[in-house]
C-alpha cells in the first residue's frame, strides 16, 4: 500500500506510536508502521527497507528506548541516506546518542514533553501536512504554532573539567540574533536599576508605613463548575474504594481520581485537563480501556453516571461495557451500549456485586479521559465521590 510517512519507534513507545498513526491517518496522511503493515511471511528487513524507500518523510518517536535501539539507528541512517526528511517527535527529555546526533542534529524537533499529548499530535499532523504539500509542489501557509524547537545540544566538558560549555554562537546564528552588549555591560545596567528601585522603595517606606494585611476569604467552588453529589443513602459510607486499571495512568493522573472529589465539566477553550482530578489512559491497541472497582461491601446498582472527555473535545468515551464479578471469580456482562453524551446516566438491570469492571471504547486517539463515575441505586447515589477516600 502506498504511504506518505514511515513511523520509526521502539517497542516500549508503541502506545505513542499508535496514537501518532491514528492522528495522521485521520488527517488523510497515509502511514507505514511495523508490524501492522508487514505481510505475514515477508522478510522483515526487506519490508523495512522498501517502506523507507517509498516514504516521503519519517516520524521518529524519540525517547530513551529509541535512543538505545540499534534497529532505530539503522532505520534513521537509511532514511537520511535516501534524502528523506526525518521529524524527531521527542516524548522524553533525553539527549540523543552520538550516532543519532550525527544524523538528526540539524533537524527541527517537535517536543511532546508536556500534556496533553493530543495537542502535540495535532501540531505534528500540521507540520507533516505542510512538508508533504511542499514536496508535491503546493504552496500553502505554515500552520499556526511557531517554529519547532531545535534538537537538544549535548553538553561538553569545559577547559577546567568542572564547567560545561554550549555552542552559544551557533544558537545565536541559527536564530538570526545579533549580540549587541557584552555580558559585563548587562551586569552593570542591572546593578544600576537595582539601586534605583531599592532607593525608591526605601523612600516610600519612610513616608508610607505598611498597613496590616487583611485576611482574604478563600472563594468557594462555584456551584456551576462541579457536579455535586446527592444526599448519602442509608447504606454505610465506605472507608476505601479500590480502583485499578491495566490501561495505564498517563501524564501523572491516577485512576482513583474517578471516585473522589468534585467532577468538573468539560468545556471548550483552554486545555482544562487536571491530573489531580481526572484519569487519562494510555493509548490502547484494542480501542478499549478498562477500570476495575471494588467496593468495601456488596452494592446493588441500577444506574451509573459516566463523565468523560476534557476541554470540550479530547478523549470522550464512545461506548461502555459493565460487568460484575461472580462467585467463581470471573466477570459476567451486565450491559454494553453506546454513549451519546460525555455526561451520561446509564441504566442497567438491578445487579448486586462487590467488584465491577467498566470498559470504555475510545475514539480516534485510542485514549479515554474520565472526569468521574457516579453510582446509583434508584434515585439515591451510592458512595458519593466527594466523601470517598483516595484509592
**CB neighbours (10 Å) of residue 228?**
11
Q: What is the pLDDT of residue 311?
A: 87
Q: Where are the domains of the chain?
A: 5-155, 226-387
Strand order of the β-sheet with 31-32 is: 31-32, 5-8, 57-62, 85-90, 110-111
Q: What is the pLDDT of residue 287?
A: 87
Structure confidence at residue 390 as a pLDDT band (50, 70, 90)? very low
Structure confidence at residue 364 as a pLDDT band (50, 70, 90)? confident
Q: What is the pLDDT of residue 164?
A: 34
The pTM (predicted TM-score) of the whole model is 0.46
Comparison of pLDDT for 274 and 84, the residue scoring more = 84
What does the alpha-carbon distance between residue 269 and residue 314 come to, in Å, rounded to a whole number? 12
Q: Convert the pLDDT of each residue in 247-288 to its tens digit.
A: 998 888 899 999 887 888 988 877 778 888 899 998 887 889
pLDDT averaged over every residue in the chain: 78
The H or E element that residue 129 is part of is: helix 117-135
Q: What is the pLDDT of residue 293?
A: 95
CATH of domain 5-155: 3.40.50.10140
Give the mean model confidence (pLDDT) for residues 43-71: 93
Specify the CATH class of 226-387 in words: mainly beta
Share above pLDDT 90 across residues of the chain, in percent, rounded to a whole number? 46
Structure confidence at residue 178 as a pLDDT band (50, 70, 90)? very low
Structure confidence at residue 201 as a pLDDT band (50, 70, 90)? low
Q: Going by C-beta distance under 8 Å and a sequence separation of 6 or more, which residues neighbour residue 71?
A: 10
What does the alpha-carbon distance between residue 130 and residue 137 come to, in Å, rounded to a whole number? 11
Q: What is the pLDDT of residue 104?
A: 78
pLDDT tops 80 at residue 80 = yes
Amino acid at each position: 500500500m502506498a504511504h506518505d510517512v514511515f513511523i520509526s519507534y521502539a517497542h516500549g513507545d508503541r502506545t505513542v506510536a499508535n496514537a501518532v498513526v491514528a492522528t495522521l491517518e485521520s488527517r488523510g496522511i497515509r502511514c507505514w508502521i511495523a508490524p501492522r503493515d508487514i505481510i505475514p511471511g515477508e522478510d522483515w528487513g526487506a519490508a523495512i527497507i522498501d517502506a523507507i524507500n517509498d516514504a516521503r518523510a519519517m516520524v521518529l518517536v524519540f525517547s530513551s528506548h529509541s535512543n538505545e535501539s540499534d534497529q532505530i539507528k539503522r532505520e534513521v541512517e537509511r532514511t537520511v541516506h535516501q534524502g528523506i526528511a526525518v521529524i524527531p517527535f521527542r516524548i522524553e527529555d533525553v539527549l540523543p546518542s552520538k550516532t543519532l546526533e550525527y544524523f538528526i542534529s540539524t533537524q527541527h524537533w517537535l517536543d511532546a514533553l508536556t500534556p496533553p499529548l493530543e495537542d502535540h499530535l495535532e501540531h505534528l499532523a500540521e507540520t507533516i501536512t505542510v512538508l508533504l504539500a511542499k514536496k508535491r509542489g503546493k504552496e500553502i501557509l505554515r500552520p499556526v504554532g511557531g517554529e519547532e524547537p531545535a534538537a537538544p545540544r549535548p553538553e561538553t566538558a569545559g577547559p577546567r573539567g568542572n564547567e560545561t560549555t554550549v555552542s552559544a554562537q551557533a544558537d545565536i546564528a541559527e536564530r538570526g540574533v545579533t549580540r549587541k552588549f557584552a555580558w559585563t555591560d548587562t551586569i552593570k545596567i542591572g546593578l544600576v536599576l537595582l539601586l534605583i528601585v531599592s532607593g525608591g522603595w526605601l523612600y516610600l517606606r519612610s513616608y508610607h508605613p505598611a498597613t496590616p494585611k487583611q485576611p482574604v476569604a478563600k472563594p468557594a467552588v462555584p456551584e456551576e463548575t462541579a457536579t455535586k453529589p446527592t444526599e448519602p443513602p442509608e447504606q454505610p459510607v465506605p472507608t476505601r474504594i479500590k480502583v485499578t486499571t491495566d490501561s495505564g495512568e498517563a501524564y501523572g493522573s491516577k485512576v482513583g481520581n474517578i471516585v473522589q472529589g468534585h467532577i468538573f465539566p468539560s468545556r471548550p477553550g483552554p486545555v482544562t485537563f487536571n491530573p489531580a482530578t481526572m484519569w487519562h489512559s494510555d493509548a490502547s491497541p484494542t480501542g478499549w480501556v478498562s477500570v476495575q472497582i471494588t467496593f468495601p461491601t456488596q452494592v446493588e446498582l441500577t444506574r451509573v453516571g459516566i463523565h468523560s472527555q476534557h476541554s470540550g473535545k479530547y478523549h470522550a468515551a464512545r461506548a461502555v461495557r459493565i460487568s460484575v464479578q461472580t462467585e467463581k471469580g470471573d466477570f459476567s456482562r451486565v450491559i454494553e451500549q453506546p454513549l451519546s453524551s460525555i455526561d451520561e446516566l446509564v441504566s442497567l438491570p438491578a445487579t448486586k456485586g462487590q467488584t465491577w469492571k467498566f470498559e470504555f471504547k475510545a475514539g480516534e486517539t485510542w485514549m479515554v479521559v474520565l472526569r468521574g463515575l457516579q453510582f446509583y441505586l434508584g434515585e439515591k447515589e451510592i458512595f458519593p465521590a466527594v466523601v470517598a477516600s483516595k484509592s
